[in-house]
Amino acid sequence: MADSCLGPSSSKPTTLFSQLSIHTSWTCPSFSLSLPSPCNFSFTAKKPFFFSSSSSSFLMSSIPNGPSNSTRFIAQNTHCSSGSSSPHNNQPSLLVFSGGTAFNGVVEELKKLTTGVAHVLPVSDDGGSTAEIVRVLGGPAVGDIRSRCLRLSDQSTSEALAVRTLLGYRLPLEAQVAKSEWYDIVEGQHPLWKGVSKPYRETIRAFLVYFQDQILRHADELFSFSNGSIGNFFFAGARIFFRSLDAAIFLFSRVSDIPTDSLVLPVISTNDRLTLGCELWDGTIIRGQNEISHPSKGSVQTIDKGSSSASALPARIKRMFYMSSEGCNLLHEVFPSVNPTVFEKLQSVDCIVFAMGSLFTSICPSLVLRGIGEIISSRWCPKVLLLNGTPDRETSGFTASCFVTAITDALNRTYGDPENCLKNTPNQYINTILVPKDGQIPVDVEVLTAQRIFHVVCLWHYAFFLAEVR
């Protein structure tokens, strides 16, 4: 779906969320949000879902049904809407498309309320420690996968915390100091092993040793341990040993004691290196996720993925796609297959979530794959966009409707894949938008209404809402 907000410039008027008709002071027992008269649509509670907090519970609805002039949100002074003594009883199932950084803060809270979440992540990151592993050993990027697994790992015992600390540890920036410390860890002499029992220690060490062996076998490529992630090294060793990224995730999940119904799914299950590309509206092609989102000099650096200090792109992003990692032909586009488990979960979950984060390099790489748009558009369930709080290099000047358009175009494969493109409308992919309180992204309600998206909710925490989806 083409939209001028994604092109070189935008002339569409925007309306900040604060200008909407919201009648509340956040302490009032109830409030309503009235949309303008062009909105002739309403949602009825065939499958209601809730946002819960210590002060209020928003009863919302998810199924479009019949004409109306407005959409209303009712708040009640209740602590929890589930009526269950345990937050994990009768919990909803969610599938979340996200990257490895921005959604992590929500994960920490969400896992306290529900464990039935499938986290779908890209494997195309090419920055920092991940880039060095891929450069020397090849294979998919494991950094985002490792980051999410750590957030989901058990923290209830001292040993669980010790394992998490070990696998979450990064080596120093100074190359020789990092290499010396790495050898201490591999040999089992480092203080990080304190608190890790022998069975765990020997299991983890075995794959770190295997990773080191693979590095030595590639002596023609000098590996830099600077700022290296021990968790990434463990993941890479397990993936190469099993010749399976899924097997490596399974092992990591068991070592970290992640709940069995919390799934971390690479959107593409592969042992091959994947390269992300983007086409700008001025025709420019950029190769590599890091070059698109957080360009920097050198292969191993500390990258602040939350920073928007990078220089602006020469034009806005038109589309994301996958490129051949062989040779230097920037125009060799490839079409990887989706992990079958992702298809399976998409067809059965209670709610589909597009998380906050780098829209084009973290979310869209999972959406442009063939088959994803077909399943999401066919589902009759809540489909929720968690709007970013601030713009970044990829979304400078964007409004809420621009995010919707970008996601719609990615799922429809509007550009670049003419023989397999879809013609679905935005509301077939998104029917609810959650806006962070005090967010800086304008919410242009008139355009959202034209896109037939009538649920726009301002929240101060996403996790409670998602945990009560029904």
pLDDT(46) > 70:
no
Q: By mean pLDDT, which of 5-9, 217-221, 429-433 is the weakest? A: 5-9
Q: Are residues 192 and 114 part of one domain?
A: no
Taking only the tens place, the pLDDT of each residue in 371-423 is: 999 999 999 999 999 999 999 999 999 999 999 999 999 999 999 878 889 99
315, 318, 324, 327 alpha-carbon torsion, rounded to 10°: -20
Query: What are the residues whose beta carbons fall under 8 Å from the beta carbon of 181, sequence distance 6 or more?
Result: 171, 172, 190
Question: Which of 260, 294, 311 is at the close of a domain?
Answer: 260
pLDDT band at 338 (very low <50, low <70, confident <90, very high): very high
Q: Are residues 115 and 161 part of one domain?
A: no
- What mean pLDDT is reported for the chain? 80
Taking only the tens place, the pLDDT of each residue in 298-312 is: 544 444 444 445 678
Q: Are residues 115 and 167 part of one domain?
A: no
Q: Are residues 99 and 20 part of one domain?
A: yes
Burial 288-321 (b: 16+ CB within 10 A, else e): bbbbbbbeeeebbbebebeeeeeeebeebbbbbb
Q: Are residues 461 and 357 part of one domain?
A: yes
281, 284, 323, 404 alpha-carbon torsion, rounded to 10°: -20
Q: Specify the pLDDT at position 62.
A: 36
Q: Are residues 338 and 392 part of one domain?
A: yes
Q: Are residues 9 and 98 part of one domain?
A: yes
Q: Specify the pLDDT at position 461.
A: 62
Q: What is the mean pLDDT of residues 341-368?
A: 97
Q: Are residues 343 and 456 part of one domain?
A: yes
Contact of 229 with 147, CB cutoff 8 Å: no
- The β-bridge partners of 279 are 285, 319
* Two structure tokens written together for 11: 């002339």
284, 286, 290, 296 alpha-carbon torsion, rounded to 10°: -70
In a domain, 343, yes or no: yes
Q: Are residues 460 and 399 part of one domain?
A: yes
In a domain, 307, yes or no: no
In a domain, 229, yes or no: yes
pLDDT band at 425 (very low <50, low <70, confident <90, very high): very high
Q: Are residues 165 and 106 part of one domain?
A: no
Q: What is the CATH number of the domain that holds 412?
A: 3.40.50
Taking only the tens place, the pLDDT of each residue in 66-122 is: 334 333 332 322 233 333 334 455 788 999 999 988 999 899 889 888 899 999 999
* Two structure tokens written together for 275: 């390269």
In a domain, 114, yes or no: yes
Q: By mean pLDDT, which of 54-63, 92-101, 115-124, 451-460 is the weakest? A: 54-63
Nearest Cα to 1, choosing from 445, 313, 358, 421? 421
Question: Which of 218, 236, 260 is at the close of a domain?
Answer: 260
In a domain, 373, yes or no: yes
In a domain, 141, yes or no: no
Q: What is the mean pLDDT of residues 153-161?
A: 93
The DSSP line for 51-84 is: EE-SS-EEEE--EE-S--S----EEES-S-SS--
Question: Which of 227, 244, 260 is at the close of a domain?
Answer: 260
The tally of domains found in the chain comes to 2
In a domain, 33, yes or no: yes
pLDDT band at 329 (very low <50, low <70, confident <90, very high): low
Taking only the tens place, the pLDDT of each residue in 185-211 is: 999 999 999 999 999 999 999 999 999
165-169 own/partner pairs: CB under 8 Å, 24+ apart = 165/192, 166/192, 166/193, 166/196, 166/204, 166/230, 167/204, 167/230, 167/231, 167/234, 167/252, 167/255, 167/256, 168/229, 168/230, 168/231, 169/229, 169/230, 169/231
Beta strands 275-280 and 285-287, pairing class:
antiparallel
- Residue range of the domain that includes 229: 153-260
Q: Specify the pLDDT at position 41.
A: 29
Q: Are residues 393 and 458 part of one domain?
A: yes
What does each C-alpha distance from 390 to 108, 144, 227, 359, 395 come to in angstroms? 21, 21, 28, 12, 9
Quote the CA–CA distance of 282 and 177 in Å, as a whole number: 45
Q: What is the mean pLDDT of residues 16-26?
A: 30
* Two structure tokens written together for 355: 């998380």
Q: Specify the pLDDT at position 90.
A: 72
Query: What are the residues whose beta carbons fall under 8 Å from the beta carbon of 264, sequence distance 6 or more?
Result: 119, 121, 145, 148, 149, 152, 249, 253, 258
Q: Specify the pLDDT at position 26.
A: 25
Q: Are residues 401 and 335 part of one domain?
A: yes
Helix (H) and strand (E) counts in the chain? 15, 18
Q: Specify the pLDDT at position 330.
A: 52
pLDDT(176) > 90:
yes
In a domain, 267, yes or no: no
Phi-psi region of 314 (alpha: psi -120 to 50; beta: other; left: phi over 0): alpha
